Amino acid sequence: MGTTWTEAIGTLPGLWVNSQSQSFLRDLNLRVDALITATIEGRKVMLYTQRGHASGENANTLYLWVTDNNRSFYFGPIAMGNAANSMFVSSLLYSDGKLHLLQQRGNDKGGVISLARLTEELKTIKSTLSNWAQLDASFSASSTPTAGLVGLLSNSASGDAWIDDYRSVNAKVVNAVKVHDGFKFTGFGSGAIWPVNNRESNGPHTFVNYDFTLLATVIVHKVPKNSTTLLGAVLAEPISTLFIGLSYGTDGTWETVFNGETTTSGSTWMPGKEYQVAIMLQDGNKGSVYVDGMSVGSLATLPTPEVRGAEIADFYFVGGEDEEDKKSSSVTVKNVFLYNRPLGAGELRMVKKIDGSMHGGVSRALLLLLGLWGIAALY
């Protein structure tokens, strides 16, 4: 324990909370324990433990979180308890390059203290921090902003998982074809969900409720029969409203979506042409949509997190919304960047169209994807 305390500006990233709960301060399953600081792989980080989210069977499991106050990731469980042998207190110890977990367990008949060395967990931490540094160096060399960059979906994939290069939370793809640096989605029921703040999948990015930028390279391959959503940020169930999104119309115009309301813009798109599109939220209620660094729509009166009734849970990408003609639309989505802050117009233009070799009320189509994601989460 030092004698000098320095304020860390901003919120602690990667923290499971229940914003709707009136008993938050009394809920042990949401409490942060064993918070320590350490320098690992040359980076100052905080490590802390938190029990599994209170709404599941794993509510008495212990997870380890790591954050540099910008990015975060978690893994585990590193310990488990039960009714007969509950976890009371846990502490992390980091010294001489070694990480330990100290636990006190017990019941009404007695207690026990244990000390476990977290060797494999420390290897994972070092590997992840090294990966962050390598990615940042690559992007900095191309003048791509790295401040606030917390997630990237690009060329890494395995089965139906679109792997986050920053190793935080992966996206789930459905009925998609892998292409270089991304996926091609065709028709109704094809798409991807990135559960960045979804409680069912323990998504860690709670900041999306207030500030974020989601930027992707996209190609719309054909003119759809009906106006079709391309990508968006969605509120959690049961509300499931498309909070901020971008659609493309049958007349070749881009359309913006704010809190479920669609508005046609004066900007146009062409089939087969590559665009860099972005959706953005600032201060919890200012939404913006950009195409190739130019604003195509904004709204400064979106419902704030306190009144919107649900958190932003997922980002989604949709291949089509015509249930009758499942091939009436087709899009490619590549190189999806997630920032924990709004980017300026100049910064948007600096995000390069990278090559994967440089690094390691909602529509029925969306509801289908959400349903498939929920089913997959059970296995």
- The SS3 assignment for 323 reads coil
Residue labelled with tokens 């509120």 = 235
pLDDT at 17: 53
Residue entry with tokens 């585990």: 76
Question: Average pLDDT, whole number, for the chain?
Answer: 85
pLDDT of residue 205: 92
The span from the CA of 70 to the CA of 278, in Å, is 21
Among 72, 71, 126, residue whose Cα is nearest residue 99: 126
- Is the sign of the CA dihedral 347, 157, 185, 243 positive or negative? negative
Euclidean distance between CA atoms 55 and 196, whole angstroms? 18
The whole-model pTM stands at 0.85
| pLDDT computed for residue 10 by the predictor | 53
Query: In the chain, where does the domain assigned CATH 2.60.120.200 lie?
Result: 145-376
pLDDT for 79 equals 83
What 3-state class would DSSP assign to 286?
A: strand
Query: What pLDDT is attached to residue 366?
Result: 47
SS3 of 82, please? strand
pLDDT in tens, the chain (379 residues): 455 555 555 556 655 555 444 444 444 555 677 899 999 999 999 999 987 654 455 557 888 999 998 898 888 888 876 655 565 678 999 999 999 999 887 766 777 888 999 999 999 999 999 999 999 999 999 899 999 999 999 999 999 999 999 999 999 999 999 999 999 999 999 999 999 998 777 788 999 999 999 999 999 999 999 999 999 999 999 989 999 999 999 999 999 999 999 999 999 999 999 999 999 999 999 999 999 999 999 999 999 999 999 999 999 999 988 887 777 789 999 999 999 999 998 999 999 766 554 454 444 444 454 444 443 333 3
Burial string for 139-157 (b: 16+ CB within 10 Å, else e) reads: beeeebbeebbbbbbbbbb
User: In the prediction, which pLDDT does 87 show?
Assistant: 59
CATH of the structural domain 145-376, one choice from 1.10.260.40, 3.20.20.70, 2.60.120.200, 3.20.20.370: 2.60.120.200
pLDDT number for residue 23: 42
**CA 148 to CA 317: how far, in whole Å?**
22
Check residue 6 and give its pLDDT: 56
